Homo-oligomer: A and B are copies of this chain.
Amino acid sequence: MLPTIAREDDVVVMIDQRKLPAQETYVRCKTAAEVARAIKTMVIRGAPAIGVAAAMGIAIGMRKSSATGTQKFAAEFYRTCELMAATRPTAVNLFWAIERIKRSFAAGAEAGESVDQIKDRLDREAGTIHDEDVASCRAIGAFGAEIVPGDAGILTHCNAGALATAGYGTALGVIRGAVEAGKRVAVFADETRPFLQGARLTAWELVRDGIETTVITDNMSGSLMRQGKVNLVVVGADRIAANGDTANKIGTYGVAVLAREHQIPFYVAAPLSTIDLGAPDGSAIPIEERSAREVTHVGGSQVAATGALVWNPAFDVTPHHFIAGIITERGIFRPPYTQSLKRAFE
């Protein structure tokens, strides 16, 4: 299992995803602020992983609180939650994890627990969120394996792998599940500019697992499909609206349009924590825009002309009608999503 994120006493340890694949280094966050910065600067990324990181960050932050009274402790706790919530706007798993930590806190406070008891329960809750995420990915992999053809050419975009989760992955969980089920799988990984999660992270993960992986630039996916080399597209998600509209890494929408043009089924793989029933459709999902420098520079080299403007949205929304199914830890949900996703939570 890849060490995406782990707890070592009161330190949250993350593999530095900005440095992969060239360097395998680890960032040790000792405070909640350090975890928040790690999320913001994409040391760790991927919607489920961000949720786990936020929960762990709050837990270590509160562990180190010097507050003795519950009132001061509570004030610190809510400030820490706000700090974490302000890191990145699109992945709903972040807010889901914070809400879950808040509910645990409230339950402890209501039960009259001491500051130390609440610290313990926050630790346990963060650990549970981590472990459940791994279990969800495994279940997603098992359900998803069913829709993978026996001889599969699978295109994926960005990294929805072990590195984007507490382990095993969502879209890459489906691929791993298919391989474990004995299917022959060739993976095509879009490099996924500007942060290159596909070339750097997806390829790195899959090569480690001995799964055949071909890296292509983002603009090659249409040609690849036209040549009949892809018979399934699986991607992750950062937020899924109640009607199935799915926010995911920029470029996902283009892949979905191309998949439909070539009659290739396009699936989303994500835990239920990615589904936001409070967002009726994709227009309610905030889309983060990131700095121009991510586009204009690669590894210190300037790749765009000085004086040009840059647009750098980190995500796009794929309308629900492009999506053949949403693979979750409770099974595969099908259109109409407004009904099926609602039932998923019952």
Query: A312 to B217, alpha carbons, bound, how many Å?
Result: 8
Query: A68 to B203, alpha carbons, bound, how many Å?
Result: 59
Closest B residue, CB atoms, query A221: B254
Q: Is A316 a contact partner of B223 (Cβ separation < 8 A)?
A: yes
Number of interface residues of A (CB under 8 A): 60
* Contact among B201, B222, B305 for A253, CB-based, below 8 A: B222
Residues of A161-210 whose CB lies within 8 A of B: 188-194, 196, 199-201, 203-204, 206-207
Query: A224 to B226, alpha carbons, bound, how many Å?
Result: 23
Q: Is A316 a contact partner of B200 (Cβ separation < 8 A)?
A: no
* Contact among B22, B305, B307, B313 for A302, CB-based, below 8 A: B22
* Contact among B196, B221, B305, B316 for A303, CB-based, below 8 A: B196
* Contact among B188, B204, B218, B250 for A305, CB-based, below 8 A: B204
Q: Is B194 a contact partner of A217 (Cβ separation < 8 A)?
A: yes
Closest B residue, CB atoms, query A252: B219
Which residues of A are interface residues toward B (Cβ below 8 A)?
20-22, 157, 188-194, 196, 199-201, 203-204, 206-207, 212-224, 226, 250-251, 253-255, 257-258, 261, 295-296, 298-313, 316
Query: A190 to B217, alpha carbons, bound, how many Å?
Result: 13
User: Which residues of the other chain, B, contact A220 by a CB distance below 8 angstroms?
Assistant: 250-251, 311-313, 316
Could you list 25 A-B pairs, sorted by A, with CB under 8 Å? A20-B305, A21-B302, A21-B305, A22-B302, A191-B303, A199-B304, A199-B305, A200-B303, A207-B305, A207-B306, A207-B307, A212-B309, A214-B311, A215-B296, A215-B309, A216-B312, A217-B250, A217-B312, A219-B251, A220-B313, A221-B254, A222-B316, A224-B311, A298-B301, A298-B303
Q: Is A193 a contact partner of B218 (Cβ separation < 8 A)?
A: yes
With A191-B193, A204-B305, A305-B207 already in contact, the answer to whether A217 and B214 are too (CB < 8 A) is no
With A193-B217, A217-B193, A301-B298 already in contact, the answer to whether A222 and B309 are too (CB < 8 A) is no
